[in-house]
Structure formats: structure tokens, C-alpha cells
Structure 1
Amino acid sequence: MTGHLPERTRWAIVMAFAIAMGWVEAASVFYVRALVDRIEPYQADPLPMNGALGNVELWREAATLVMIATLGGLAGRTWRRRAGYAALAFGAWDIFYYVFLRLISGWPRTLMDWDILFLLPLPWWGPVLAPVSIALVMILWGTLATQSGDGTADARWAWALAGVGIGLALAVFMIDTWRALRDGRDAILQVLPTMFNWPVFWVALLLMASPALHQVAFLRTKKSVFRLPCCWRLP
């Protein structure tokens, strides 16, 4: 990406690209679900894919992650901003994927509808509200990381907490397919969860938000420090 572009322009370009990616993703998923008659994924035999189609889907998901990482690498001028733009793109892509899928197919009807969120390394299940909540956190952190300047510090403890949160969230999303793992591939493809562990998920989300919350607190403190001299009065 051209080096002289200001960060706000880069932010807008990345957002536009991510929104367009959301449409492409929604269209691709619509084609596949229409092909296997699973516009609504939460029903018996939710993943009726033969070997070829299943492998194509796995590689498509992997390619999407590569595209997002590449976009972040091109948009950012520092490692922190590259990660921020990648997070921004992922969050916007995920949210607009659901917006466009709703426009195309009428699904999801509500944020509480169950969806197959991802297939790598195992199928992830969860209500639509869960990935959308994570996407909002990613957009928040990505915006702060790319627009607040290079002087903002990221605390290691915040990222340690975020790592724990990511692990908890993955466990919540994949717990049912993990339990079916010992029964083989067919059992995994037939999994239909009946309960989502919201308490653990909200804890995980709060932990994942630690870097963004730390950044907000840092910026508020920095702003207060810069304003402090204006309040001084000479005796």
C-alpha cells in the first residue's frame, strides 16, 4: 500500500476491502449451502459434504486467513499496525458476512441462531451473537492499534489474558465436536449442539478484550496527563 497514505485513509481502504470480502464470503457460503440443501445449518446431517467438497471448503477457509493476514501486512507500516489492520479486516469481514448472508438467503433470522462458524481444525458451533461479539472486539482493538500512534504500549499481561480468553472461546466453540472425535469423522459431521456455555464465553470475551481495554485506559491516562498543565495556576 502506498507509503504516504494517512492512517485514516488506510483504515477506510481496509474496511472497504473487508466489507467486499464479506460479500464474497456470503455468496460462496450461499452457493455451497444451496448445493447441499443446508441454507440453515442447524438441522439433521448439518455437514453433508463428500470428500472433494469438504476439502475445498477447508482450503477456502485457509485461503481466507492468508488473504486477511496479507492485507494487514500490506496496510501496516509497523508490526503492531499490521496486526491491527488484520484484526480490523477480520472483524469487519465476519460481521458483514452475516449481514450479506441475511440479505441473500434470509438467514440468520436472529443473532441466537446456531451456525457452523469454522471447520479448522474441527467444526466450530455457536450462536451468531458469539462470533459477532468477538468481531466487534477485534474492530475496536484494530482501530486503536492503527489510529492511536506508535507511542501506545501493549502490556504483556493484557496479551497473556487475551491468550487465555482465546483458548476458552475455542473450547466453548469446539467442545461438542471434540467429544465426538473419538467416534470418528462421521460422528463429528453429525454433531448438533444443544447448549452454548454463555458464562464461560463472556469470561473469554472479556479476557480477549484485555488489550483493547488496556489501550483505552492508556489513552485516557495519556490525555489526562497532557491536559494537566492547562489546569495549573501560578501563585
Structure 2
Amino acid sequence: MALRDRSQSFSLKSLFWLSLFAIAMAYLEAAVVVYLRALYYPDGFAFPLKMIPFQILVVEIGREAATIVMLVTVGMIAGRNFGQRFSCFIFSFGVWDIFYYIWLKVLCNWPDSLLEWDILFLIPVTWTGPVLAPVIISLSMIVAAILILHLAARGVEFKLNLLEWGLEFLAAAGIFVSFVLDCKNIMNGGLPNPFRWEIFLGGELLGIIVFVQRYVKILRTMKK
């Protein structure tokens, strides 16, 4: 039977405040990108990339690191245990990432489509890919977080075993590879090669399957 601990239960009302924080943070992120594109891409953002000064690049990497720290911090504050904190983090991350693109669309009418390529991340190397790819990941993270926190609201903790964690890391590694495979070409001023959707979707599906199987097992034990 699933272990229930009401002292560790989670209030789903907290998701409203997490969402509000993430949406506001996404606006700040989008505003910075609007400024950068006005400076370095006055005719509109497009590949090949323009090389920016090293000092600005360092600042950008620091900004991205600070963004992750803020999202982790709000997760640590909102949750009561590891599972809740991690879920709050991925929920906030997902909302932030999706609204980042929504705000970009509002502020500078970009992207033209979800298949438009973007610079996704700079740590530890440059990640690039179609906007649709991170949106898919973010939606998956939001759904997973809500399901886990729904259990937490009922006093049930979601836990993966070591094998499941290993498979989830493998899934994440596949997704990471799909984003950085073209890094050298992109950073050398080339146009993006076709995105490796088969690698990306393989990692995404593996992660979803492992999660769903564990979630279903927990639901079954709750009914016993």
C-alpha cells in the first residue's frame, strides 16, 4: 500500500504562485533577449549567429546560471521534501520556458512558427533547436509535476527506484545530445543542420514511459 504522510502533504494552491513567479520571470528573460536582439540583430534574429563580445557572452552565461538558481530556489521554498521541491522546480521551469516564448511573440512577434530555430542554452555548450522541442519538454515537465504534486496533496510521495532514475538520466542525455550535436557547426557560423528529431523523441518517450509506469504502480497500490 502507498505510504501516506499528511504532514508532508502539498497544497495545490501553491501552483498559482509558482505560475505567477514563472510568468513574471519569463517576461524579464524575454525583455533581456529583446534588448540583445535589438543590438546584435537589428534586422531580426536569424542564423548564422553573429559573434558577440566575450564579455557579453560571459554575462549571458551568468544570467542563465542565475535563472536556474532562482528556479531551484523557488522550488526549495515551495516544497517540503525532495520530490515536492523537484516537482516545483520542473513546474516553474516549464511555465517559465513556455511563457518566455509567449512574451517574445508579444514583444517582438517572434518566433514565426514553432519550428523556428533558437539558441536554447549556453551551459556547458551552446544548445540549439526548433522552438517546438523545448516547448514539448516544458509541457511534459508541467504535466509530470502536477501529477506528482497531486499525489503529494493526498499525502503520497512519488519515488523512482535506481533503475528508473538511470533510465530517466539516459532519456535526458538523449535529449541533451539532440540539442548540442550541431554545436560546432553553429558556433563556426554555419546554418543549422536538420534537427535530430529521432534522438530527441526517443529520449522524450523513454522519460515519459518510465514516469507513467511508476505513476500507475503508485495508483494501484493506493487502491489496495
Q: What TM-score, normalized to structure 1?
A: 0.83
Relative CO higher for 1 or 2, CA cutoff 8 Å, sep ≥ 6?
Answer: 2
| Map of 1:7 onto structure 2 | 11
Q: 1:118 and 1:47, CA in 2 relative to 1: closer, same or farther beyond 3 A?
A: farther
Paired residue for 2:163, among 136, 149, 157?
A: 157
Q: Give the CA deviation at 1:5.
A: 9.9
8 Å Cα contact 1:101/1:108 also seen in 2? yes
Is 1:221 aligned with 2:220? Answer: yes
Paired residue for 1:148, among 147, 151, 158?
A: 151
| Map of 1:34 onto structure 2 | 38
Query: 2:20 is aligned with what amino acid?
Result: A
Query: 2:196 is aligned with what amino acid?
Result: N
Q: 1:69 and 1:47, CA in 2 relative to 1: closer, same or farther beyond 3 A?
A: farther
Q: Is the radius of gyration larger for structure 1 or structure 2? A: 1
Q: Give the CA deviation at 1:48.
A: 2.7
Percent of aligned positions that are identical: 33
Is 1:109 aligned with 2:108? Answer: no
Cα distance in 2, alignment partners of residues 154 and 209 from structure 1: 13
Q: What TM-score, normalized to structure 2?
A: 0.87
Query: 2:88 is aligned with what amino acid?
Result: Y
Q: Which 10-residue stretch deviates more, 12-21 or 31-40?
A: 31-40
Query: 2:16 is aligned with what amino acid?
Result: A
Cα distance in 2, alignment partners of residues 67 and 77 from structure 1: 17
SS at match of 1:195: coil
Q: Give the CA deviation at 1:208.
A: 2.4
CA RMSD of aligned residues (A): 2.2
Which residues of 2 match residues 81-100 of structure 1 at below 5 A?
81-100=84-103
Uncovered stretches (5+) of structure 2, i.e. residues with no partner:
1-6
Q: Give the CA deviation at 1:4.
A: 11
